[in-house]
Homo-oligomer: A and B are copies of this chain.
Protein backbone atom coordinates (compact mmCIF):
# COMPACT_ATOMS: atom_id res chain seq x y z
CA UNK A 1 0.00 0.00 0.00
CA UNK A 2 1.44 3.40 -0.90
CA UNK A 3 2.20 5.11 2.43
CA UNK A 4 0.83 8.43 1.21
CA UNK A 5 -2.79 7.27 0.91
CA UNK A 6 -4.90 9.38 3.20
CA UNK A 7 -8.44 10.65 3.40
CA UNK A 8 -9.46 14.25 2.70
CA UNK A 9 -10.28 15.80 6.09
CA UNK A 10 -11.67 19.00 4.61
CA UNK A 11 -14.10 17.11 2.39
CA UNK A 12 -15.20 14.95 5.33
CA UNK A 13 -15.84 18.07 7.42
CA UNK A 14 -17.77 19.78 4.60
CA UNK A 15 -19.95 16.70 4.17
CA UNK A 16 -20.64 16.57 7.92
CA UNK A 17 -21.60 20.25 7.93
CA UNK A 18 -23.81 19.85 4.85
CA UNK A 19 -25.59 16.87 6.42
CA UNK A 20 -26.01 18.84 9.69
CA UNK A 21 -28.15 21.38 7.82
CA UNK A 22 -30.81 18.70 7.39
CA UNK A 23 -32.90 18.77 10.53
CA UNK A 24 -30.73 21.56 11.99
CA UNK A 25 -32.00 23.00 15.28
CA UNK A 26 -31.77 26.58 16.50
CA UNK A 27 -29.22 25.62 19.19
CA UNK A 28 -26.77 24.19 16.68
CA UNK A 29 -27.84 20.58 16.95
CA UNK A 30 -29.84 18.20 14.79
CA UNK A 31 -33.29 16.62 14.98
CA UNK A 32 -33.42 13.82 12.43
CA UNK A 33 -35.66 11.17 13.96
CA UNK A 34 -35.67 7.73 12.34
CA UNK A 35 -37.83 7.36 9.20
CA UNK A 36 -38.96 10.98 9.40
CA UNK A 37 -39.07 13.60 6.64
CA UNK A 38 -35.64 14.83 7.79
CA UNK A 39 -34.20 11.29 7.88
CA UNK A 40 -35.49 10.81 4.32
CA UNK A 41 -33.81 14.08 3.22
CA UNK A 42 -30.53 13.08 4.89
CA UNK A 43 -30.56 9.69 3.19
CA UNK A 44 -31.29 11.29 -0.20
CA UNK A 45 -28.27 13.55 0.17
CA UNK A 46 -26.16 10.57 1.20
CA UNK A 47 -27.43 8.51 -1.78
CA UNK A 48 -26.63 11.36 -4.19
CA UNK A 49 -23.06 11.54 -2.85
CA UNK A 50 -22.66 7.74 -3.08
CA UNK A 51 -23.99 7.57 -6.64
CA UNK A 52 -21.55 10.36 -7.57
CA UNK A 53 -18.83 8.19 -6.02
CA UNK A 54 -19.83 5.30 -8.26
CA UNK A 55 -21.59 3.18 -5.66
CA UNK A 56 -24.54 0.86 -6.13
CA UNK A 57 -27.39 1.60 -3.65
CA UNK A 58 -29.42 -1.15 -1.98
CA UNK A 59 -32.05 -0.87 0.78
CA UNK A 60 -33.41 -3.83 2.73
CA UNK A 61 -36.89 -4.45 4.09
CA UNK A 62 -36.28 -2.76 7.47
CA UNK A 63 -34.80 0.33 5.77
CA UNK A 64 -31.11 -0.39 6.29
CA UNK A 65 -29.26 1.30 3.41
CA UNK A 66 -26.05 0.07 1.73
CA UNK A 67 -23.75 1.91 -0.70
CA UNK A 68 -21.54 -0.66 -2.40
CA UNK A 69 -18.17 -0.12 -4.10
CA UNK A 70 -17.37 -3.25 -6.06
CA UNK A 71 -14.17 -5.20 -5.44
CA UNK A 72 -12.01 -7.27 -7.80
CA UNK A 73 -13.09 -10.58 -6.28
CA UNK A 74 -16.82 -10.94 -6.90
CA UNK A 75 -17.00 -13.86 -4.43
CA UNK A 76 -15.40 -11.97 -1.54
CA UNK A 77 -17.61 -10.90 1.37
CA UNK A 78 -17.99 -7.12 1.68
CA UNK A 79 -16.10 -5.07 4.27
CA UNK A 80 -18.71 -2.75 5.75
CA UNK A 81 -18.32 0.66 7.40
CA UNK A 82 -21.60 1.25 9.19
CA UNK A 83 -23.34 3.55 11.61
CA UNK A 84 -26.55 5.62 11.50
CA UNK A 85 -28.01 8.89 10.22
CA UNK A 86 -30.93 9.20 12.67
CA UNK A 87 -30.47 11.42 15.74
CA UNK A 88 -31.87 12.15 19.19
CA UNK A 89 -34.65 14.82 19.24
CA UNK A 90 -32.04 17.30 20.50
CA UNK A 91 -29.00 15.52 19.13
CA UNK A 92 -25.66 16.64 17.81
CA UNK A 93 -23.97 16.80 14.41
CA UNK A 94 -21.67 13.80 14.87
CA UNK A 95 -23.33 10.91 16.72
CA UNK A 96 -23.79 8.23 14.04
CA UNK A 97 -23.42 10.56 11.05
CA UNK A 98 -19.70 10.58 11.51
CA UNK A 99 -19.39 6.79 11.03
CA UNK A 100 -21.49 6.93 7.84
CA UNK A 101 -19.74 9.90 6.25
CA UNK A 102 -16.31 8.62 7.29
CA UNK A 103 -17.22 5.48 5.31
CA UNK A 104 -18.19 7.60 2.31
CA UNK A 105 -14.92 9.54 2.63
CA UNK A 106 -12.97 6.25 2.58
CA UNK A 107 -14.67 5.33 -0.72
CA UNK A 108 -14.08 8.81 -2.18
CA UNK A 109 -10.41 8.60 -1.16
CA UNK A 110 -10.02 5.18 -2.79
CA UNK A 111 -11.55 6.68 -5.95
CA UNK A 112 -9.19 9.68 -5.84
CA UNK A 113 -6.20 7.40 -5.45
CA UNK A 114 -7.52 5.16 -8.23
CA UNK A 115 -7.18 2.16 -5.95
CA UNK A 116 -9.35 -0.89 -6.13
CA UNK A 117 -9.80 -3.53 -3.44
CA UNK A 118 -10.07 -7.28 -3.58
CA UNK A 119 -13.27 -7.39 -1.49
CA UNK A 120 -16.15 -5.01 -2.05
CA UNK A 121 -16.30 -2.06 0.38
CA UNK A 122 -19.68 -0.83 1.59
CA UNK A 123 -21.13 1.94 3.71
CA UNK A 124 -24.13 0.88 5.83
CA UNK A 125 -26.75 3.23 7.25
CA UNK A 126 -28.54 1.27 9.98
CA UNK A 127 -32.19 2.18 10.60
CA UNK A 128 -33.34 3.66 13.94
CA UNK A 129 -30.21 3.33 16.01
CA UNK A 130 -31.17 5.95 18.57
CA UNK A 131 -34.41 4.40 19.72
CA UNK A 132 -35.64 7.97 20.18
CA UNK A 133 -38.60 7.54 17.79
CA UNK A 134 -39.04 3.74 17.81
CA UNK A 135 -38.01 1.71 20.86
CA UNK A 136 -35.81 -0.32 21.25
CA UNK A 137 -32.62 1.30 20.05
CA UNK A 138 -30.36 -0.33 17.41
CA UNK A 139 -33.42 -1.76 15.69
CA UNK A 140 -32.20 -1.97 12.07
CA UNK A 141 -28.91 -3.61 13.02
CA UNK A 142 -30.75 -5.79 15.54
CA UNK A 143 -33.09 -7.18 12.87
CA UNK A 144 -30.13 -7.57 10.47
CA UNK A 145 -28.32 -9.66 13.12
CA UNK A 146 -31.40 -11.71 14.01
CA UNK A 147 -31.74 -10.26 17.52
CA UNK A 148 -35.29 -9.21 16.54
CA UNK A 149 -37.61 -10.61 13.90
CA UNK A 150 -38.48 -8.47 10.86
CA UNK A 151 -42.15 -8.40 11.90
CA UNK A 152 -41.19 -7.25 15.40
CA UNK A 153 -39.05 -4.46 13.94
CA UNK A 154 -41.64 -3.27 11.41
CA UNK A 155 -44.34 -3.35 14.08
CA UNK A 156 -42.58 -0.96 16.50
CA UNK A 157 -44.67 2.20 16.91
CA UNK A 158 -43.72 5.77 17.78
CA UNK A 159 -45.50 7.79 20.47
CA UNK A 160 -48.21 8.79 17.97
CA UNK A 161 -48.89 5.12 17.24
CA UNK A 162 -47.26 5.18 13.77
CA UNK A 163 -45.59 1.85 13.00
CA UNK A 164 -42.07 1.81 11.56
CA UNK A 165 -43.50 -0.08 8.58
CA UNK A 166 -45.93 2.77 7.81
CA UNK A 167 -43.19 5.38 8.22
CA UNK A 168 -40.92 3.43 5.84
CA UNK A 169 -43.71 3.22 3.24
CA UNK A 170 -44.58 6.91 3.66
CA UNK A 171 -41.02 8.01 2.88
CA UNK A 172 -40.14 5.13 0.49
CA UNK A 173 -37.25 4.09 2.74
CA UNK A 174 -37.62 0.31 2.62
CA UNK A 175 -36.19 -1.79 -0.20
CA UNK A 176 -36.83 -5.32 -1.39
CA UNK A 177 -33.52 -6.84 -0.28
CA UNK A 178 -34.02 -9.41 2.48
CA UNK A 179 -32.63 -8.34 5.86
CA UNK A 180 -29.38 -10.05 6.83
CA UNK A 181 -26.52 -11.56 4.88
CA UNK A 182 -22.87 -12.47 5.41
CA UNK A 183 -20.36 -9.67 5.88
CA UNK A 184 -16.58 -9.96 5.75
CA UNK A 185 -16.16 -7.45 8.56
CA UNK A 186 -17.88 -4.43 10.10
CA UNK A 187 -16.03 -1.30 11.23
CA UNK A 188 -17.81 1.58 12.96
CA UNK A 189 -16.19 4.96 13.52
CA UNK A 190 -17.95 7.00 16.19
CA UNK A 191 -17.40 9.90 18.55
CA UNK A 192 -16.56 8.56 22.01
CA UNK A 193 -19.54 10.18 23.80
CA UNK A 194 -17.37 10.14 26.91
CA UNK A 195 -14.43 12.17 28.25
CA UNK A 196 -11.60 9.65 28.32
CA UNK A 197 -9.76 10.33 25.03
CA UNK A 198 -9.90 14.08 25.58
CA UNK A 199 -8.65 13.75 29.18
CA UNK A 200 -5.82 11.42 28.20
CA UNK A 201 -4.95 13.35 25.04
CA UNK A 202 -5.46 10.35 22.78
CA UNK A 203 -6.80 10.77 19.26
CA UNK A 204 -7.98 7.23 18.62
CA UNK A 205 -9.88 4.81 20.83
CA UNK A 206 -9.43 1.20 19.71
CA UNK A 207 -12.72 -0.19 20.95
CA UNK A 208 -12.40 -3.77 22.16
CA UNK A 209 -16.01 -4.26 23.23
CA UNK A 210 -19.07 -2.80 24.84
CA UNK A 211 -19.93 -2.82 28.53
CA UNK A 212 -22.66 -5.08 29.80
CA UNK A 213 -25.57 -3.30 31.41
CA UNK A 214 -28.12 -4.38 34.01
CA UNK A 215 -31.00 -2.11 34.93
CA UNK A 216 -32.85 -2.45 38.23
CA UNK A 217 -35.74 -0.78 39.98
CA UNK A 218 -35.18 -0.46 43.73
CA UNK A 219 -38.20 0.10 45.97
CA UNK A 220 -37.94 0.69 49.73
CA UNK A 221 -41.20 0.48 51.63
CA UNK A 222 -41.40 2.68 54.72
CA UNK A 223 -44.18 3.57 57.08
CA UNK A 224 -45.46 7.12 56.83
CA UNK A 225 -45.32 8.95 60.13
CA UNK A 226 -45.02 12.45 61.43
CA UNK A 227 -41.54 13.97 61.48
CA UNK A 228 -41.97 15.42 64.96
CA UNK A 229 -43.57 13.10 67.50
CA UNK A 230 -42.29 9.76 66.24
CA UNK A 231 -39.13 8.69 68.10
CA UNK A 232 -36.31 7.75 65.72
CA UNK A 233 -36.16 4.16 66.97
CA UNK A 234 -39.86 3.61 66.20
CA UNK A 235 -39.57 4.73 62.54
CA UNK A 236 -39.56 2.55 59.44
CA UNK A 237 -37.74 5.17 57.39
CA UNK A 238 -37.02 4.37 53.71
CA UNK A 239 -34.70 7.39 53.34
CA UNK A 240 -32.34 6.13 56.05
CA UNK A 241 -32.37 2.78 54.29
CA UNK A 242 -31.80 4.47 50.91
CA UNK A 243 -28.72 6.26 52.26
CA UNK A 244 -27.29 2.95 53.38
CA UNK A 245 -28.15 1.16 50.11
CA UNK A 246 -26.77 3.93 47.90
CA UNK A 247 -23.52 3.98 49.84
CA UNK A 248 -23.15 0.22 49.42
CA UNK A 249 -24.10 0.20 45.72
CA UNK A 250 -21.59 2.94 44.91
CA UNK A 251 -18.98 0.93 46.77
CA UNK A 252 -19.35 -1.72 44.01
CA UNK A 253 -17.99 0.84 41.55
CA UNK A 254 -14.85 1.31 43.65
CA UNK A 255 -14.52 -2.41 44.28
CA UNK A 256 -14.48 -3.16 40.54
CA UNK A 257 -12.73 0.02 39.40
CA UNK A 258 -11.76 1.28 36.94
CA UNK A 259 -14.26 -0.33 34.56
CA UNK A 260 -17.33 -0.69 36.76
CA UNK A 261 -20.03 1.96 36.46
CA UNK A 262 -22.79 2.50 39.01
CA UNK A 263 -25.43 5.12 38.26
CA UNK A 264 -28.58 6.16 40.06
CA UNK A 265 -30.31 8.47 37.61
CA UNK A 266 -33.71 8.57 39.28
CA UNK A 267 -34.56 8.81 42.97
CA UNK A 268 -37.90 9.90 44.37
CA UNK A 269 -39.81 9.81 47.67
CA UNK A 270 -43.57 9.29 48.09
CA UNK A 271 -45.60 11.06 49.29
CA UNK A 272 -43.35 14.02 49.03
CA UNK A 273 -43.95 16.03 52.19
CA UNK A 274 -41.14 17.51 54.23
CA UNK A 275 -42.65 16.74 57.63
CA UNK A 276 -43.66 13.16 56.88
CA UNK A 277 -41.33 10.18 56.90
CA UNK A 278 -41.94 8.81 53.37
CA UNK A 279 -43.94 5.64 52.84
CA UNK A 280 -41.75 4.76 49.87
CA UNK A 281 -38.46 5.65 48.20
CA UNK A 282 -37.77 4.41 44.66
CA UNK A 283 -34.58 4.62 42.71
CA UNK A 284 -33.11 3.25 39.50
CA UNK A 285 -29.83 1.37 39.51
CA UNK A 286 -27.68 0.99 36.39
CA UNK A 287 -24.69 -1.38 36.75
CA UNK A 288 -22.13 -1.76 33.92
CA UNK A 289 -18.95 -3.71 33.37
CA UNK A 290 -17.19 -5.02 30.23
CA UNK A 291 -16.43 -8.44 31.81
CA UNK A 292 -19.44 -10.78 31.97
CA UNK A 293 -18.10 -12.52 35.08
CA UNK A 294 -17.53 -9.28 36.95
CA UNK A 295 -20.91 -7.85 35.92
CA UNK A 296 -22.46 -11.04 37.25
CA UNK A 297 -20.55 -10.66 40.52
CA UNK A 298 -21.71 -7.04 40.83
CA UNK A 299 -25.27 -8.23 40.23
CA UNK A 300 -24.88 -10.94 42.89
CA UNK A 301 -23.43 -8.45 45.36
CA UNK A 302 -26.30 -6.04 44.75
CA UNK A 303 -28.66 -8.91 45.56
CA UNK A 304 -26.69 -9.67 48.72
CA UNK A 305 -26.73 -6.03 49.83
CA UNK A 306 -30.51 -5.98 49.49
CA UNK A 307 -30.88 -9.34 51.24
CA UNK A 308 -28.84 -8.08 54.20
CA UNK A 309 -30.75 -4.78 54.37
CA UNK A 310 -33.96 -6.77 54.43
CA UNK A 311 -33.03 -8.33 57.78
CA UNK A 312 -34.25 -5.21 59.61
CA UNK A 313 -35.96 -1.90 59.03
CA UNK A 314 -37.77 -0.86 55.87
CA UNK A 315 -38.15 -3.76 53.39
CA UNK A 316 -36.40 -3.39 50.02
CA UNK A 317 -37.01 -4.99 46.62
CA UNK A 318 -34.52 -5.10 43.74
CA UNK A 319 -36.09 -5.93 40.37
CA UNK A 320 -34.02 -6.49 37.23
CA UNK A 321 -35.84 -4.81 34.34
CA UNK A 322 -33.29 -5.08 31.48
CA UNK A 323 -30.03 -6.80 30.78
CA UNK A 324 -27.60 -6.29 27.88
CA UNK A 325 -24.66 -8.69 28.16
CA UNK A 326 -21.10 -7.40 27.58
CA UNK A 327 -19.82 -7.61 24.00
CA UNK A 328 -16.26 -8.52 23.05
CA UNK A 329 -15.34 -7.43 19.52
CA UNK A 330 -13.42 -9.60 17.09
CA UNK A 331 -9.70 -9.95 17.93
CA UNK A 332 -8.60 -9.63 14.31
CA UNK A 333 -10.73 -6.55 13.68
CA UNK A 334 -9.39 -4.96 16.89
CA UNK A 335 -5.85 -5.71 15.70
CA UNK A 336 -6.63 -4.17 12.31
CA UNK A 337 -7.72 -0.97 14.04
CA UNK A 338 -4.65 -0.96 16.33
CA UNK A 339 -2.36 -1.56 13.37
CA UNK A 340 -4.07 1.25 11.44
CA UNK A 341 -3.67 3.65 14.37
CA UNK A 342 0.01 2.69 14.78
CA UNK A 343 0.68 3.01 11.04
CA UNK A 344 -0.96 6.45 10.80
CA UNK A 345 0.88 7.61 13.91
CA UNK A 346 -2.01 8.88 16.03
CA UNK A 347 -1.84 8.43 19.81
CA UNK A 348 -4.32 5.68 20.63
CA UNK A 349 -5.55 3.53 23.48
CA UNK A 350 -7.68 0.44 23.79
CA UNK A 351 -11.00 1.10 25.45
CA UNK A 352 -14.45 -0.28 26.06
CA UNK A 353 -17.58 1.51 24.90
CA UNK A 354 -19.91 2.54 27.69
CA UNK A 355 -22.80 3.16 25.30
CA UNK A 356 -24.61 0.79 22.93
CA UNK A 357 -23.98 1.01 19.15
CA UNK A 358 -25.08 -0.84 15.97
CA UNK A 359 -21.84 -2.81 16.27
CA UNK A 360 -23.25 -4.52 19.40
CA UNK A 361 -25.69 -6.47 17.22
CA UNK A 362 -23.58 -6.69 14.04
CA UNK A 363 -20.78 -8.28 16.10
CA UNK A 364 -23.08 -11.30 16.52
CA UNK A 365 -22.99 -12.02 12.77
CA UNK A 366 -19.74 -10.47 11.49
CA UNK A 367 -16.20 -9.78 12.74
CA UNK A 368 -16.54 -6.28 14.16
CA UNK A 369 -14.62 -3.49 15.86
CA UNK A 370 -15.07 0.21 16.48
CA UNK A 371 -12.95 3.34 16.28
CA UNK A 372 -13.58 6.19 18.72
CA UNK A 373 -12.51 9.80 18.32
CA UNK A 374 -12.72 12.46 21.08
CA UNK A 375 -15.72 14.75 21.47
CA UNK A 376 -15.63 17.96 23.45
CA UNK A 377 -16.15 17.43 27.18
CA UNK A 378 -17.48 13.95 26.45
CA UNK A 379 -20.85 15.58 25.74
CA UNK A 380 -23.27 13.73 23.46
CA UNK A 381 -27.03 13.29 23.09
CA UNK A 382 -26.95 17.05 23.31
CA UNK A 383 -27.13 19.88 20.75
CA UNK A 384 -23.80 21.11 22.14
CA UNK A 385 -22.05 17.92 20.89
CA UNK A 386 -18.78 19.00 19.28
CA UNK A 387 -15.71 17.39 17.72
CA UNK A 388 -12.51 18.72 16.12
CA UNK A 389 -12.01 18.36 12.32
CA UNK A 390 -8.48 16.98 12.81
CA UNK A 391 -9.73 14.27 15.20
CA UNK A 392 -12.53 13.31 12.82
CA UNK A 393 -10.00 13.11 9.97
CA UNK A 394 -7.70 10.97 12.12
CA UNK A 395 -10.49 8.47 12.87
CA UNK A 396 -11.37 8.34 9.17
CA UNK A 397 -7.75 7.60 8.26
CA UNK A 398 -7.67 4.77 10.79
CA UNK A 399 -10.94 3.47 9.33
CA UNK A 400 -9.42 3.55 5.83
CA UNK A 401 -6.37 1.53 6.84
CA UNK A 402 -8.33 -0.98 8.94
CA UNK A 403 -10.72 -1.55 6.03
CA UNK A 404 -7.86 -1.95 3.57
CA UNK A 405 -6.27 -4.59 5.79
CA UNK A 406 -9.48 -6.62 5.39
CA UNK A 407 -10.47 -5.69 1.84
CA UNK A 408 -6.98 -5.97 0.35
CA UNK A 409 -5.61 -3.31 -1.97
CA UNK A 410 -5.12 -3.66 -5.72
CA UNK A 411 -3.95 -0.84 -7.95
CA UNK A 412 -6.46 -0.06 -10.73
Contacts and interface: CB of A to CB of B under 8 A. Distances in A.
A225 B382 contact: yes
Contacts of A141: none
A390 interface: no
Contacts of A196: 229, 231, 234
A288 B275 CA distance: 11
A228 B239 CA distance: 26
Contacts of A353: 228-229
Interface string A241-267: 011101100100110011011111111
Given A243-B246, A379-B223, A228 B267 contact: no
A23 B206 CA distance: 62
A300 interface: no
Interface string A94-132: 000000000000000000000000000000000000111
A250 B240 contact: yes
A27 to B, nearest CB: 10
Given A199-B234, A232-B257, A275-B381, 12 more contacts: A194-B229, A195-B234, A223-B379, A226-B380, A233-B257, A242-B246, A246-B246, A263-B277, A264-B278, A265-B273, A267-B268, A268-B268
Interface in A129-183: 130-132, 135, 137
25 contacts: A89-B271, A130-B275, A131-B274, A193-B230, A196-B229, A215-B274, A223-B382, A224-B379, A224-B382, A225-B380, A228-B261, A229-B354, A229-B355, A230-B354, A232-B253, A232-B260, A232-B261, A233-B258, A242-B246, A243-B250, A265-B276, A265-B277, A266-B274, A275-B286, A279-B382
B246 A381 contact: no
**9 closest A-B pairs (Cβ-Cβ)?**
A194-B229, A228-B354, A229-B354, A228-B355, A227-B263, A243-B246, A274-B284, A224-B382, A276-B381
B225 A378 contact: yes
A284 to B, nearest CB: 4
Contacts of A408: none
A228 B382 contact: no
Point out which of A196, A257, A266 has the most chain B C-beta atoms below 10 A from its C-beta.
A266
A276 to B, nearest CB: 4
A356 B229 CA distance: 9
Given A230-B194, A378-B229, A267 B267 contact: yes
Contacts of A382: 223-225, 276, 279
Given A226-B355, A232-B257, A355-B228, A273 B266 contact: yes
A377 to B, nearest CB: 9
Interface in A351-379: 353-356, 378-379
Contacts of A278: 264-266
A193 B355 contact: no
Contact of A226 (B135, B193, B199, B268): B193
Contacts of A225: 195, 378-382
A112 to B, nearest CB: 34
A203 interface: no
A275 B261 CA distance: 11
B90 A271 contact: yes
B257 A246 contact: no
